[in-house]
A and B are shown apart, each in its own frame.
Chain A
Amino acid sequence: MNFDFSEDQKLLQHTAKEFLTEHSPLSVCRSVLESDEPYSQSLWKGAAQLGWLGTAIPESYGGAGFGHLELAVIAEEVGRALAPIPFSSSVYCASEAIARLGTDEQKQRELVRLASGDAIGTVALTEKPGQNGPRAVEARFEGGRITGTKLPVPDGTAADLAVVPAQGAAGVSLYLVSLAGDGVTRESIRSLDPARPMARVTFDGAPAELLGPDGGGIDAIESILDRAAVLMAFEQLGGATRAFEMTREFTMQRYAFGRPVASFQAIKHRLADLWCEIELARSNCYWGAWALSNEAPELGEAACLARIQASRAFDLTGVEMVQLYGGVGYTWEYDCHLFYRRAKASAVVLGSPASWREKLITRLEAKNAA
């Protein structure tokens, strides 16, 4: 048995890591964070050229024809680098949604350009603050057009197209909308993690096209979220691992009272506990990757396990990193806050941990009743 990635997949991961080490040091994340650029265009092009965007897209739609295991290891490296590109929105959310739900025509039209990086996609799942679930949709679809407001939309200003839930005649459904088209107003909103920008998108009679089954929006949203959750969990895992390594190194180098800060038992024990949380996340992520790549019936449960533990591990690591760096951890100049911000934003962008815990129990109850 092998509950690990294959040698080929590990090689792919190694290549991705090398590329990002060279082209996406933390200074690149910082430069996007500190500027108005929504993402690093050169990095996005580089990722596209390497075929990353189409990793799990079939070759017939312009993809590389690999699978979700390959995408997972790339995601871990993207997360490790805090790469400031709309990878999660375009690849884990929009591409996955269209690949799963689209007609052949829609896939030809959209997946090809998403895979090449010529177009950036995103999803616009929520409309207001709070934990309201996929049924809380006030946007309306009528006569081929969408009207309503979505907030926040990750990568909303950079994206060319969005997958948007709206109330149609048959109930909540998903629609494909061109964000560069008529009736779309986009407003960039300052975000907690400016390296991952957010927007408010208002649709006022914007042309839209049904994606997936009419009235099947709720299930479709859940499916998109599950798939994105597993892949995002690998990003969170990568980010947590990187933050942990940096913290470990810092505490080994930093001396106080005549010895490394890392030699004090309180610090040793905190790092040991943190290491455990990250290892537990890795284990749940691996099961998520298995479930996703096998389209297993366990995917609903596996997505919850991966997301909840990866969020916990990355979140905790972000907090501990600032604390264990001491005073400098609290400066703009040091990189701790890049992880602190990314960890918290990742923990909520696909729905809060509390909502995923509730989802998990609901799914376990359904499994138990079956």
Chain B
Amino acid sequence: MDFNDTPEEAAFRSEVRAWLEANAERKEPNDVAGVDLGERVDAETLAAAKAWQKKKADAGWACITWPKEFGGRGATAIQSVIFGQEESKFRTPPNIFGIGHGMCAPTVMAHGTPEQQQRWIPKLLTGEEIWCQLFSEPSAGSDLAGLRTSAVKDGDEWVVNGQKIWTTGAQFSDWGILVVRTDPNAAKHAGLSYFVVDMHSPGIEVKPIIQINGGTGFNEVFFDNVRIPDANRLSEVGNGWAVAITTLMNERASIGSGGGGRAGISDLLHLARETEIDGRPAIEDPAVRQKLADFYVRSRALQHTGTRTVSALSQGKTPGPEASLGKLVGGVLIQDIAAYAIELQGTAGALDDNEYTPDEGAWQERYLGIPGLRIAGGTDEVLRNIIAERVLGLPPEARADKGIAFKDIPTGPPS
């Protein structure tokens, strides 16, 4: 039971800190519990993010867990955690490379040819090129393999028609990883293939989606006879699902390293001191105190669970599907805390402005932002299935679409 760094970890941390001190500005400490799903990035932020990434790349601090052959340091997972911990204490532009670095690059490293890797990975590392993920479709979210965007071979190109959705950053991306159906006569998973698409190709149209909180970080991406060279295909035709699994495993890993913020509990305690019940601070009310305690216990339990994950990394272990716990429990907790905070505000909970709403409407903002987290990157329901099947070893779901040609799978009620 020792929270201290090992000597090696401490040495690494000093090295990281020294470089950051010399190259960035320290933040003021505060409790950041915000959920920033899909906020639209403006041109200035984009430029700043690229500049910071280039700076890190030039100094050998970009994508440190990547193998050295790809420009990384071959750093361990715990070193990556340490770097993240230290970097978060400095004022740096938002990380817009999460998808490119966390999902796309590992997929290209695992399944790309040497030529493909040479072509794409260096510019991913430096941030010169930005990538997006074109997986989900209006008819295929949790059931991703049910996707319908098609690719038909024409000479040494593929012609793609269809639509993707929830594509973060599509509006400024240079490349996208794309899963398409190349054989509708095969069973669902067997007829998929995987490509890298140039987002500047003719026929691609990007339209922002407006979220319930007014944010526009996500997009729909329409493909109208978009031509992709066969040279941009990763792995064999029909092997797309296996490649997609690589991508998804990396997505889980990056989301699951959470346990970060405290779901807003500190802010809630503060609010309970500031708002009143019958003329006394709400925090003096016994019912409020019970509720606050429950939220606090849960929020700290999540934090400690995150610490156990980091500890496992430090011991050289690979955390597995247990990471689903952080997102599953955390998402609900953030929402419940925001909901409770709004209720503490009484009738003013129905406001959402900067002047009259307690905490400048931060709770209302959080309440409107959080449902996305319970759906994106694995819905609560899918995470429960993952825990049930992969952690607890319970039987898989009965499937109604196994062994049937994709084109014969029902997609709606009978007419």
Contacts and interface: CB of A to CB of B under 8 A. Distances in A.
A3 B311 contact: yes
B323 to A, nearest CB: 11
Interface string B267-305: 001000000000000010010011011101110111011
B328 interface: yes
Contacts of B391: 272, 275
A280 B298 contact: yes
A279 B325 contact: yes
Interface in A63-79: 69
A284 B395 CA distance: 30
B51 interface: no
Interface string B313-329: 01100000010010011
Contacts of A109: none
A259 to B, nearest CB: 7
Main secondary structure of the interface of A (DSSP, over half): helix
Interface size class of A (residues with CB under 8 A): 35 or more
B293 A361 contact: yes
B301 A305 contact: yes
Given A3-B308, A283-B301, A357 B325 contact: no
A14 interface: no
Main secondary structure of the interface of B (DSSP, over half): helix
B1 interface: yes
B387 A283 contact: no
B392 A304 contact: no
Contacts of B322: 279
Interface in B361-415: 381, 383-385, 387-389, 391-392, 394-398
Contact of B1 (A5, A282, A357): A5
A293 B2 CA distance: 11
B383 to A, nearest CB: 8
B290 A309 contact: no
Contact of A273 (B308, B384, B396): B384
A309 B315 contact: no
A368 B389 CA distance: 43
B356 interface: no
B1 A286 contact: yes
B4 interface: yes
B388 A271 contact: yes
A265 B385 contact: yes
A365 B269 CA distance: 9
Contacts of B301: 280-281, 283-284, 305, 309
A355 B318 CA distance: 39
B343 interface: no
Contact of A361 (B283, B305, B387): B283
A259 B329 CA distance: 29
Given A260-B395, A276-B325, A283-B301, A3 B384 contact: no
A251 B397 CA distance: 15
Nearest to A280: B301
B314 A357 contact: no
Nearest to A281: B301
A253 to B, nearest CB: 12
Q: Nearest 3 A-B pairs (CB), nearest first?
A: A357-B293, A283-B304, A268-B388
12 contacts: A2-B2, A2-B311, A6-B1, A248-B394, A268-B392, A283-B307, A284-B297, A284-B304, A304-B297, A357-B289, A360-B293, A361-B289
Given A305-B301, A360-B293, 20 more contacts: A1-B2, A1-B5, A1-B314, A4-B308, A248-B392, A252-B395, A262-B394, A268-B389, A269-B381, A269-B388, A272-B385, A276-B325, A280-B301, A283-B305, A284-B297, A286-B308, A289-B1, A357-B289, A361-B293, A364-B269
